[in-house]
Structures are given as C-alpha cells and as structure tokens.
Amino acid sequence: MYIVYPLIEESETLDYKNLMDGFEYIASEFPAPEYQISIVHGKMKPREKEAEMNKFSTGKSHIMVATTCYRSRCKCT
C-alpha cells in the first residue's frame, strides 16, 4: 500500500494533510515490528529516496508514505 500526500510539512496557507503528520498516524496504526514503513519526499537525497523506494518495491517495507515526487516514479505491480 502506498499513500501520497501533497505536502511534506504543515502549511499555514494550505489546508492539506501533510506527509509528516500522515506518517505519524500510519505508524501508530501499523506499528513496528509487524509493519515496516518507508517514507519518500523531495527534500531527501536521491540515494536515500532510491533506497526507500527499493525497500518498498522488493517487499522489505509494507507501506510507502510519500509526496507526489514518488508518484511519477512508482514501478509497483
């Protein structure tokens, strides 16, 4: 499962759910060690993003929480 958020952090001008709050909520509902959660956003270094996407696409993490930067690169089946 992957969940896409439009923002990384809360915005004072936009009323959207953000990635960091979403990640905290998902992590509370799907706790470790039963579930592994990957996180990807545009402020991460390319190598970090690639590592997280790799964990998700190979099944090492169960849930991907990402901003729209991930959606265009998704190769999930």
Please say if the pLDDT value at position 17 is more than 80.
no
Task: Tell me the residue ranges of DSSP E strands in 1-77.
Answer: 2-5, 37-40, 63-67
Would you state the pLDDT for residue 74? 52
pTM reported for the whole predicted model: 0.77
pLDDT in tens, 22-72: 899 999 999 999 999 999 988 889 999 999 999 999 999 999 999 876 555
Confidence of residue 8 (pLDDT cuts 50, 70, 90): confident
- 49 membership: H or E segment, kind and range: helix 46-57
CA-based nearest residue to 49, from 16, 74, 22, 24:
74
